[in-house]
Amino acid sequence: MKITENELDFSHVNDKISHLTKAEIVELINKYYAGEKVTRLIKDYKVKVPTSRLIFTFPKKLTDTHCFYCRTKMVQDWTSLHGYNQGESISYCPKCGHQDAPNCQCENCKRIKEESLKQELQRRKELIFKQVEY
């Protein structure tokens, strides 16, 4: 995996790596995913975090998808090479919090689910009322 500047959301750079240039941040991420020792990277790039927290300082990954609601480009968190959050992370909107997942709990999805439940409840009430009239 080779990351480029265009694939990162630099709008919110973590304070722990704010002393690095964009090119240095990209280089740090690429070295991390190439398997270089985290302790070495922390030392070389002067990042003051525990080894287990380094990936949380990386800018979010931009995805190719846009939010269904606000059309903002979706982002993803980084996954650890060795830790508890290995695997693919869920895309989410940095603006409204919408997640690209069926169990999304953003305000828009909650509102739509609530409206859908109200409609279903109304439909059932009408069905029961029709049966009672006969």
pLDDT tens-digit map of 24-60: 999 999 999 999 999 999 999 999 999 999 999 999 9
- For 109, the token pair is 């999805």
Residue 90 lies in a domain: yes
Q: What is the pTM of this model?
A: 0.78
Per-residue pLDDT tens over the stretch 79-98: 888 766 555 689 999 999 99
Residue 24 lies in a domain: yes
Residue 73 lies in a domain: yes
Number of folded domains that form the chain: 1
46: left (phi over 0), alpha (psi -120 to 50) or beta: left
Range of the domain at 78: 5-101
Residue 88 lies in a domain: yes
- For 89, the token pair is 């992370």
How many angstroms separate the CA atoms of 100 and 109, rounded? 11
Write the CB contacts of 7 (distance below 8 Å, at least 6 apart in sequence). Answer: 61, 62
How many angstroms separate the CA atoms of 41 and 38, rounded? 5
- For 45, the token pair is 């790039």
C-alpha distances in Å from residue 22, one per residue of 46, 56, 116:
15, 16, 45
